[in-house]
Amino acid sequence: MTTQPLSPPVPAAALPASEATRTLAALVRGIAARPQLWRPAVRFGAAERWWTRLDAPAGVDVWLLTWLRSQGTDLHDHGGSAAAFTVVAGTLTESRATRDGALHAVPLTPAGGARTVEPDVVHDVRNDHDEPAVSIHAYAPRLQRMSFYAVTGTGLTRVRTVRTDEPEVDA
Ligand SMILES: [Fe+2]
């Protein structure tokens, strides 16, 4: 008997964006284009990443996040919320995990527009550069929980779920 090799998983980044994530992407791009809405709120945390809420439409969370070098998240999902984010300063690297545990890293800069994050995406985000980075993230429905993942010998494994309404928290 012969077996057919499985097709490689399609990276989530290659999938078309849903209407929900497209709407969130337009929202974060619109906020990014109006620095008066976010620039006065920018702070950096040397000990840990820093974030604050921005004004948002009903049913949506919008957060401003700042990232010094080496600050980043663990592999996580958004608990069923759609999301989008855009970088307004510096460079962030987003890594998306496939179910077999492969990671696909893509840098994002202010010239890169917004990245959509479908509810089933598992990713991490970090600043690998000396220049501080600033990003704007939107989630809908409003963030309620996140699950964290590890890459093991059998692929991507969920290790913890936390209730949270704060963005991109650590495990
Ligand atoms: Fe995330």
Judge whether residue 75 has pLDDT over 90. Answer: yes
Which among 88, 85, 81 is positioned nearest to 38, based on CA atoms? 88
Q: Quote the ligand 1 centre to 53 CA distance (angstroms).
A: 15
12 dihedral zone (left: phi>0; alpha: psi -120 to 50; beta): alpha
Is 126 inside any structural domain?
yes
| pLDDT at residue 171 in the model | 59
pLDDT band at 13 (very low <50, low <70, confident <90, very high): very low
Is 3 inside any structural domain?
no
Compute how many other C-beta atoms are within 10 angstroms of the C-beta atom of residue 125: 24
Cβ partners under 8 Å of residue 147, min gap 6: 76, 77, 79, 158, 160, 161, 162
Q: Quote the ligand 1 centre to 6 CA distance (angstroms).
A: 28
Q: List, in sequence order, the alpha helices (H) in 64-149.
A: none
Is 77 inside any structural domain?
yes
Name the residues around ion ligand 1, CB cutoff 5 A: 168
Instruction: Return the amino acid letter for 22.
Output: R
pLDDT tens for 102-125 read: 999 999 999 999 999 999 899 999
Report the distance separating Cα 47 and Cα 133, nearest Å: 15
Output the domain CATH number for residue 102. Answer: 2.60.120.10
- Long-range interactions of 39-47: CB distance < 8 A, separation 24+: 42/66, 42/134, 44/68, 44/132
Is 22 inside any structural domain?
yes
Is 48 inside any structural domain?
yes
Q: Quote the ligand 1 centre to 117 CA distance (angstroms).
A: 8
Report the distance separating Cα 9 and Cα 165, nearest Å: 30
Is 149 inside any structural domain?
yes
Report the distance separating Cα 160 and Cα 121, nearest Å: 16
Q: Quote the ligand 1 centre to 3 CA distance (angstroms).
A: 37
* Domain housing 66: 14-163
| pLDDT at residue 34 in the model | 97
| pLDDT at residue 16 in the model | 65
**How many independent structural domains does the chain possess?**
1
Tell me: cis bond preceding 119? Omega within 30 of 0 counts: no
pLDDT tens for 113-166 read: 999 999 989 999 999 999 999 999 999 999 999 999 999 988 999 999 999 888
- 0.85 cut: is pTM over it? yes
pLDDT band at 169 (very low <50, low <70, confident <90, very high): confident
Judge whether residue 96 has pLDDT over 70. Answer: yes
What is the mean pLDDT of the segment spanning 94-108?
95
pLDDT tens for 33-74 read: 999 999 999 999 999 899 999 999 999 999 999 999 999 999
